[in-house]
Structure 1
Amino acid sequence: MLLQIKMFGTMLYYAEWNRTKKSGVSREEEAKLTYGMLFSIKSFVSKISPYDPREGFLCYKTNRYALHYLETPSGLKFVLYTDTAALNVKELLKQLYSKVWVEYVVRDPLWSPGTPVTSELFEVKLDEFIKQSSLYSIRNI
């Protein structure tokens, strides 16, 4: 499982759990490729989707992995790569945002919005949150 959190073009946080195959590029390059792809997919979806464009792009699946996406109204972007068998990831991302991000990053007086997260408490709580989720036991990418 791989998590990227980005805002205003800056990678705020990156984490991996049980990742079996590395991409062969740096984290920064991987993030740039991911967000370039997301920009294109979001544009494509907004033009062809028969649904309300405000619903936006939520995920896509290949035969090897799934990418799940949550963008907050403030422009914070959460990207989670999982196994294709993962369920209820949208809800998990919403809980990650409200129960972990808001509690341990937004409310941290030492964190400035738009800067990378360096809080050890956030890392511990995020790790606990992910390991307690049903996604953690699924075969990972």
Structure 2
Amino acid sequence: MRVADRLEAEAKMTVHNLYIFDRNGNCLFYNEWNRKKQAGISKDEEFKLMYGMLFSIKSFVNKMSPLDMKEGFLSFQTSKYKLHFYETPTGLKFVLNTDLSVSNARDSLQHLYSNIYVEHVVKNPLVPEAQTLDSEIFCSKLDSFIKALPFYSPRAA
């Protein structure tokens, strides 16, 4: 594949990045697939800002909702991207940023948690708890999973 073709294909990919936070706001994992613009701050500062924003949005949504909500905050979008949010019963938070064309990634995030995170992190005695994830098998399985998502594929021109 020519470099120009590869760059054009990458520009059409719709998954930008993924964060995984523990219940205390520590970023356990971060990866990028097609992030064009960096925040201009350290990754640690970015992680703190992202977690703080999630905490604030969740609180706002729960307080302002006219009805009792089982699910709470699921996603939000800007003019350039959509943030998808999934929180496990144990307080793990999965945040996936995608293109606006992705309507709902909740099932994908649930699958990622139950079939990849639980199987390759929780059930793996070699992966220490409450630390950043640097498991090669987890990273490999995650990358394969993300690249197989229907909304990861290049969009039609």
Q: Give the TM-score band, short-chain normalised.
A: over 0.9
Counterpart amino acid of 1:124?
Answer: S
Where structure 2 has 5 or more consecutive residues not aligned to the other structure, the ranges are: 1-15
* Superimposed CA distance per residue, residues 35-72 of structure 1 (whole angstroms, 9 cap, x where no aligned partner): 11111111110011123233210100111111111110
- Paired residues for 1:89-100 under 5 Å: 89-100=105-116
**Number of residue-to-residue matches in the alignment:** 139
Q: How does 1:1-141 map to 2 (within 5 A)?
A: 1-7=16-22, 8-138=24-154
Sequence identity (%): 53
Answer whether contact 1:5 1:79 (CA < 8 A) is retained. yes
Q: TM-score, normalised by structure 1?
A: 0.92
TM-score (norm 2): 0.83
TM-aligned CA deviation for residue 137 of structure 1: 1.9
- Higher deviation after alignment, 121-130 or 4-13: 4-13
RMSD of aligned alpha carbons: 1.3
Q: Distance in 2 between matches of 1:51 and 1:138?
A: 38
Give the aligned residue type for 2:21. Answer: K
Provide, for residues 76-129 of structure 1, a one-character-per-residue CA deviation record: whole Å limited to 9, x for no partner.
Answer: 010111111113301110011111111111111012321111110110000000
Please tell me the residue identity of whatever aligns with 1:32: K
Q: Which ranges of 4 or more aligned residues in structure 1 deviate by more than 6 Å?
A: none
Q: Is the 8 A contact 2:84 2:106 kept in 1?
A: yes
